[in-house]
Structure 1
């Protein structure tokens, strides 16, 4: 019986040892995953547990992969060999690894292996393969891809490939995703991708491709051609419906609007940072030269073709940083589903939206940094617009109800223009009534407006009730030198406004009472001429206050004491603060939890031995003011003594004066 029990215990111990996770040095074992990364290994550790699911050997010093090291681990699903020094792989090494699905060989020296023109052998079950950053050039990928029938995702980025041949992917026909970005691709042979019937995502960004003249990959859903040298993009003329959803053509040299599939499902199109001068979609002008063998020829496309582009499903369109001078109504008319339209940094002088193309699905419109002088939004247009960027234009005289008509506007960026704000003395026309162009715009009674930016607008004044009825959270009025702010300018914002910037307005005094803004948390009063700190009541909730570059000598201690309750950040630099006139305040700062980011540059002034001196506010001690106090006390004592003496002498003089008169009378008698 005892021997039988011993046998059972021994058997159980063997079974437990087989399945027990072992913490082997130097690798870390977690369940069925083994992590041997960042250990400077030159070979694969011999005694790794069986039935490994994941083996991470990244960032080591491995050079050779052989059967002797890896053949035993046939259960591996994920093998990570990223960032080693691998330059040799034994042919057929992965043949028996029938569970291998992900293989990462990125950032090694596989170009040395490829020079031998030896094939790796079958990658029968691998679905995801990374060969990025290996110095591979044209033709070298064939030795890895010739027998990979299950491969779905392939990364070849960061190599030196110059040409994609029609046989490059012939052994990997199941591919769905190919990443070729950051190579030096100049040429793509006809038929290179056509055999990949399941290909849905193709990244060719950061290469040297000069043209796409016959795009016909109808099954693609994502195509990234950004950061190439493209001068034209043209789809084959076909009635076939393309699956393309995302097309990225930014940062190229495209002169004219691309010819897109007649039938498409495009929802995202980025044409920013090109050389487009128009959005003409009916054909190309005669001066466009056709690209042949990587260079321009004098062949021209016909300008008489009908409009082939279909934008009916487009949600996002970015044409910023081009040279576009106008946007015709016919173009806007086709954007029936657009939500984001970016036309910033172009040459637009006018922009209008009317009933023919109301853009009533648009949420964000960016027209910033053009040369806009005329802006027109018709009635019942832009009904869903939430963000409008008009900064960096030359708008001055526009319809005063332009923004009043936008029923969902939330963010309004008007900085760097020449607009003025209408006040309560301007009569607000009723909705539906026509209004003429005016030298001011109504920014009141817009119930959805929360963010308003009016900096650098050459504003002369902010009239009373300028924003009443608009529940602003953020208001930026900075960089309007000489700005006259009416004492009731912020009326109506008492419970909503949280951020206020009055920076660089040359303000000598604040007429308006900021203490009534009970929700105000961030205030920027920097770069003005303020000599006194605005007063706040006990209900203030200010968390950040910027007083840099003003003319503040003293700060009201009582006001600062109120602010200290909620204040978290205070900027004070470049003010002529008095050390001895702010002792209580400076002591509070030295002991306070308030953060003063510019504390190292905040100084105050005091007088010693008739000299004006400057010192950091954190270094001020009572002794710096004692000398001044003693001198002041001495002067006061002298003055008081002198006054007392003068008083005594005066009194004695009055007392002696009657006695003399009596003596004189007695002499006469």
Structure 2
């Protein structure tokens, strides 16, 4: 009975298994063939299809289930130029597999399990023609890459990113003498043996970023053009004292722990240098002021020393930087910065001094003639020479947020605040940011003869704007930002700004809209977080011709006092991005009503109208009844007395 019961339980299972085996195998989605390229990614394949075109040149088998890489896996094809096996589960490669692939130039084996294969200590065999090889994300550790690189005579580009390599040995690349670019990003490299790269005469790019390297004391790769050592634990970088010319163009030493400036080859052609996010306390390469070493960067164009601990930068530091275009020293502790020598930084276009501790800023006459962008935000500056920016003839972009500056008037008869700064007659200035400056007043003609396109005066609570403060900007100003200024009404006539397209008046105390006319060019208007109850419909109608975007949220709008405006919003092409939060107040509703749901019928109040009509009808009825009664009385008095006496 037990056997019979077991058979009854197992019989349905046996039937289902037989049925499943009888079904035809599931057909995988077909590969895509484009001329001589075959794309088979994401198809759960364990090998290449057997019906590959005989002259296939590129095969993409990425993101599949390939485990063993053999001749059978590749359908016995050998004419590949490009083979992509990225993101499979390869843990075995048939030795000598690539020997006969004499046309194979690009081989991508990234994101597999080649560390398992490397444990066998078997070379893959010659990569006869391979020029680009990607072995990244394979769990390889020190020495394992040798089994793939031992015989790669033409290999030029090699990626070993995101492995577990701790050491670059002297013979690691001995079988790949043609290497031009090596990427070892995101390993755990602690040591580089002397001479590890010496045999690579063609090496021009080396990426060692995101490792654990602590110092480079004898940098001697003269032919290298790009070196990335960012995100290590570097405390020291020194090159050899050789006078040989170095070809290095780009050096990235950012995000390390260097307390002093790197000692670079005297005979260099460096163009890009990044030493940001270190522990630099001095621009001296020795850290000793008495042993100052001059740095020669005659071709340097970009220098980033941001996010360090620099307290000062002497002018002499820039003496040998005749080609510098970008200087970034933001987020340091610099209290004073001056360029008085007119021969210095003549080519510099951008200087970033933001977020320092500046108390003194001096620019000499005829210095910085090419400067276009100056970042001084976040310095709490209170005093500047009032004509300092007039000495910068090419200045286009000024960022002065988070300081304590006051603005001068261009009118000589106007009484200016002490130590104010002038922004008039800056012939090329187009972008000016003055938010968070505790500005108290904005005098008349403050920007006369300055063709500003953008003016940011936000976050200056209590700012008192003269009615002519924006005079002179009628034909240039496009963006005006006045948010969070606690403004209850605008004295300045914005309708005269014919080029104004974008204005931000959010988070103020406005109860009425500024006046605009039909000549307005406003395209974007932000009125969020104000005290607007009723919008002047004529003003909104004047804006409708040009207005494209309107922000209206968080205002105590009245539903029934703005019917024309609400109708315009509902039926015009104006986009209200925050329309879901734009509400109005209706006395018949306890909660604010979304403006999309407001109808004219909601404001016609039919109950009151019916009551009035009823009262009128009753009054008319009473008046008619009284008239009839009076008429009846009069007719009785006029009747003749027809009685006779006896």
- Is this a same-fold pair by TM over 0.5? yes
Pairwise mapping of residues 244-259 of structure 1 onto structure 2 (< 5 A)?
244-259=248-263
User: How big is each residue's C-alpha offset from its partner over 1:33-86, in whole Å with a ceiling of 9 and x where there is no partner?
Assistant: 111122111111111111222111111111111123437422211111111111
CA distance in 1, matches of 2:366, 2:413: 22
In the TM superposition, residue 409 of structure 1 has moved relative to its aligned partner by 0.5
The reply to whether residue 515 of structure 1 matches residue 495 of structure 2 is yes
The reply to whether residue 617 of structure 1 matches residue 621 of structure 2 is no
Task: Provide the residue aligned with 2:577 in structure 1.
Answer: 597
The reply to whether residue 457 of structure 1 matches residue 460 of structure 2 is no
Pairwise mapping of residues 127-166 of structure 1 onto structure 2 (< 5 A)?
127-166=131-170
In the TM superposition, residue 537 of structure 1 has moved relative to its aligned partner by 0.8
Task: Assess if the C-alpha contact under 8 Å between 1:399 and 1:441 holds in 2.
Answer: yes
- Alpha carbons of structure 1 residues 632 and 381: separation in structure 2 relative to 1, 3 Å: farther
User: How big is each residue's C-alpha offset from its partner over 1:81-115, in whole Å with a ceiling of 9 and x where there is no partner?
Assistant: 11111111000000000011110111111111111
Q: Could you say what secondary structure the match of 2:303 adopts? A: strand
The reply to whether residue 382 of structure 1 matches residue 368 of structure 2 is yes
Aligned residues: CA RMSD: 2.2
Point out the more displaced range, 24-33 or 446-455: 24-33
In the TM superposition, residue 593 of structure 1 has moved relative to its aligned partner by 2.2
Task: Provide the residue aligned with 2:394 in structure 1.
Answer: 408
CA distance in 2, matches of 1:403, 1:637: 76
Task: Assess if the C-alpha contact under 8 Å between 1:71 and 1:93 holds in 2.
Answer: no
Task: Assess if the C-alpha contact under 8 Å between 1:181 and 1:205 holds in 2.
Answer: yes
Task: Provide the residue aligned with 2:545 in structure 1.
Answer: 565
Pairwise mapping of residues 339-418 of structure 1 onto structure 2 (< 5 A)?
339-355=325-341, 358-418=344-404
Task: Provide the residue aligned with 1:170 in structure 2.
Answer: 174
Task: Provide the residue aligned with 1:14 in structure 2.
Answer: none
Task: Assess if the C-alpha contact under 8 Å between 2:50 and 2:75 holds in 1.
Answer: no
CA distance in 1, matches of 2:591, 2:206: 68
Task: Assess if the C-alpha contact under 8 Å between 1:152 and 1:174 holds in 2.
Answer: yes
CA distance in 2, matches of 1:367, 1:34: 53
CA distance in 2, matches of 1:40, 1:68: 17
In the TM superposition, residue 604 of structure 1 has moved relative to its aligned partner by 0.6
User: How big is each residue's C-alpha offset from its partner over 1:299-333, in whole Å with a ceiling of 9 and x where there is no partner?
Assistant: xxxx8656253111110000000010000111022
CA distance in 2, matches of 1:480, 1:581: 32
Task: Provide the residue aligned with 1:473 in structure 2.
Answer: 453
Task: Provide the residue aligned with 1:213 in structure 2.
Answer: 217
Task: Provide the residue aligned with 1:238 in structure 2.
Answer: 242
Pairwise mapping of residues 423-572 of structure 1 onto structure 2 (< 5 A)?
423-426=409-412, 439-572=419-552
The reply to whether residue 200 of structure 1 matches residue 224 of structure 2 is no
In the TM superposition, residue 460 of structure 1 has moved relative to its aligned partner by 0.8
User: How big is each residue's C-alpha offset from its partner over 1:208-259, in whole Å with a ceiling of 9 and x where there is no partner?
Assistant: 1111111111111000000111111111111111111100001111111111
Task: Provide the residue aligned with 2:129 in structure 1.
Answer: 125
- Alpha carbons of structure 1 residues 573 and 73: separation in structure 2 relative to 1, 3 Å: same
User: How big is each residue's C-alpha offset from its partner over 1:360-414, in whole Å with a ceiling of 9 and x where there is no partner?
Assistant: 1000000000011110000000000000000001211111111111111000111
User: How big is each residue's C-alpha offset from its partner over 1:279-318, in whole Å with a ceiling of 9 and x where there is no partner?
Assistant: 113x234xxxxxxxxxxxxxxxxx8656253111110000
Task: Provide the residue aligned with 2:287 in structure 1.
Answer: 284
Task: Assess if the C-alpha contact under 8 Å between 1:330 and 1:357 holds in 2.
Answer: no
Task: Assess if the C-alpha contact under 8 Å between 1:105 and 1:131 holds in 2.
Answer: yes
Aligned length: 591
CA distance in 1, matches of 2:491, 2:593: 33
CA distance in 1, matches of 2:204, 2:449: 50
Q: Could you say what secondary structure the match of 2:562 adopts? A: helix
Q: Could you say what secondary structure the match of 2:540 adopts? A: helix
User: How big is each residue's C-alpha offset from its partner over 1:8-43, in whole Å with a ceiling of 9 and x where there is no partner?
Assistant: xxxxxxxxxxxxxxxx97121111111112211111
User: How big is each residue's C-alpha offset from its partner over 1:424-472, in whole Å with a ceiling of 9 and x where there is no partner?
Assistant: 23479xxxxxxx9951111111111100100001111111111111111
Point out the more displaced range, 33-42 or 169-178: 33-42
Q: Could you say what secondary structure the match of 1:70 adopts? A: coil
Task: Provide the residue aligned with 2:24 in structure 1.
Answer: none
CA distance in 1, matches of 2:292, 2:259: 19
Task: Assess if the C-alpha contact under 8 Å between 1:313 and 1:338 holds in 2.
Answer: yes
Task: Assess if the C-alpha contact under 8 Å between 2:410 and 2:447 holds in 1.
Answer: no
Task: Assess if the C-alpha contact under 8 Å between 1:118 and 1:143 holds in 2.
Answer: yes
Q: Could you say what secondary structure the match of 1:581 adopts? A: coil
User: How big is each residue's C-alpha offset from its partner over 1:186-226, in whole Å with a ceiling of 9 and x where there is no partner?
Assistant: 11111111111111100000111111111111111000000
Give structure 1 stretches of 5+ with no counterpart.
1-23, 286-302, 429-435, 643-669
Task: Provide the residue aligned with 2:636 in structure 1.
Answer: none
Task: Provide the residue aligned with 2:64 in structure 1.
Answer: 60
CA distance in 1, matches of 2:127, 2:304: 41
Task: Assess if the C-alpha contact under 8 Å between 2:342 and 2:365 holds in 1.
Answer: no
Give structure 2 stretches of 5+ with no counterpart.
1-27, 620-646
- Alpha carbons of structure 1 residues 549 and 233: separation in structure 2 relative to 1, 3 Å: same
Q: Could you say what secondary structure the match of 2:592 adopts? A: strand
User: How big is each residue's C-alpha offset from its partner over 1:593-644, in whole Å with a ceiling of 9 and x where there is no partner?
Assistant: 2111111111110112xx75411111112343233x75489689999x99xx
User: How big is each residue's C-alpha offset from its partner over 1:516-567, in whole Å with a ceiling of 9 and x where there is no partner?
Assistant: 1111110000011000111111111111100001000011111112212221
Pairwise mapping of residues 632-651 of structure 1 onto structure 2 (< 5 A)?
none
Task: Provide the residue aligned with 1:647 in structure 2.
Answer: none
